[in-house]
């Protein structure tokens, strides 16, 4: 099995890993723990933003931290599932 180092906690894991966006660039990988405890809540915070304006601002903020624009769609944000 393939090994990777989680870009959020630094732990080494086995498998494909998950897309850590918007907390780290999509080309990096994160472990399942970080995916459920950090990445998913971060995405949900965007999805459940109190207003469209606030959502846009959050997307911009995450994009600034990542150094590239995260791709928003009308119904929310499209996340790249993997880079396999």
Residues of this chain that bind Zn ion (CB under 5 A): 6, 8-9, 31, 34
Cα(45)–Cα(54) distance, rounded to whole angstroms?
Answer: 10
Neighbours of 28 (CB within 10 A): 18
User: Are the C-beta atoms of residues 25 and 38 closer than 8 Å to each other?
Assistant: no
- Least distance to Zn ion from the beta carbon of 73, Å? 27
Closest CB to Zn ion among 6 and 58? 6
Closest CB to Zn ion among 8 and 70? 8
Closest CB to Zn ion among 34 and 46? 34
- Least distance to Zn ion from the beta carbon of 65, Å? 18
Structure tokens at 39: 């990445």
- Least distance to Zn ion from the beta carbon of 31, Å? 4
Cα(20)–Cα(31) distance, rounded to whole angstroms?
Answer: 9
């Amino acid at each position: 099995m393939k090994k990777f180092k989680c870009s959020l906690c630094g732990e080494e894991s086995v498998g494909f890993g998950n897309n850590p966006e918007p907390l780290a660039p999509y080309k990096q990988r994160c472990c399942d723990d970080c995916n459920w405890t950090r990445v998913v809540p971060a995405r949900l915070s965007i999805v459940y933003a109190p207003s469209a304006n606030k959502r846009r601002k959050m997307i911009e903020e995450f994009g600034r931290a990542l150094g590239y624009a995260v791709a928003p769609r009308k119904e929310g944000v499209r996340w790249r599932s993997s880079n396999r």
